[in-house]
Amino acid sequence: VTTLAVLASGSGSNLEAIAKAIENGQLLAKIAVVIYNEPEAYVKQRADKFGIPAILINHRDYKSRAAIDLAIVDILKQYHIDLVIMAGWMRIVTQVLIDAFPERILNIHPSLLPSFKGIHAIEQAFNYGVKITGCTVHILSLEVDSGKILKQAAVPILASDTLVDLQKRIQVQEHIIYPAAIAEYAQSLTK
The answer to whether the CB of 23 falls within 8 A of the CB of 34 is no
How many residues bind ligand GAR (CB under 6 A)? The answer is: 15
Q: Could you tell me whether strands 132-139 and 149-156 are parallel, antiparallel, or unpaired per DSSP bridges?
A: antiparallel
Region from 60-68, 93-101, 107-115, 156-164 binding ligand GAR, contact rule CB under 6 A: 107-115
Region from 10-18, 23-31, 52-60, 63-71 binding ligand GAR, contact rule CB under 6 A: 10-18
Look at residue 72 and give its three-state secondary structure.
Answer: helix
Nearer to ligand GAR, 80 or 143 (CB): 143
Using alpha carbons, select from 148, 167, 149, 147 the residue that is nearest to residue 157: 167
Nearer to ligand GAR, 88 or 179 (CB): 88
What are the two backbone dihedrals, phi and then psi, of residue 63, each rounded to the nearest 5 degrees?
-95, -10
The answer to whether the CB of 38 falls within 8 A of the CB of 65 is no
Nearer to ligand GAR, 48 or 78 (CB): 48
Q: Is 147 in the site for ligand GAR (CB under 6 A)?
A: no
Question: How many angstroms separate the CA atoms of 127 and 139, rounded?
Answer: 27
Write the single-letter amino acid at 134. Answer: G
Q: Is 119 in the site for ligand GAR (CB under 6 A)?
A: yes
Q: How far is the CB of 92 from ligand GAR (least distance, A)?
A: 10
104 Rama class: left (phi>0) / alpha (psi -120 to 50) / beta = alpha
Question: How many angstroms separate the CA atoms of 142 and 138, rounded?
Answer: 12
Q: Is 173 in the site for ligand GAR (CB under 6 A)?
A: no
Which positions are annotated as active-site residues? 109
Q: Is 10 in the site for ligand GAR (CB under 6 A)?
A: yes
Q: Is 107 annotated as a binding residue?
A: yes
Look at residue 34 and give its three-state secondary structure.
Answer: strand
Q: How far is the CB of 86 from ligand GAR (least distance, A)?
A: 8
Nearer to ligand GAR, 2 or 107 (CB): 107
Point out the annotated binding site for (6R)-10-formyltetrahydrofolate. 65, 90-93, 107
Q: What is the contact surface with ligand GAR in residues (CB under 6 A)?
A: 8, 10-14, 87-88, 108-110, 119, 121, 171, 174
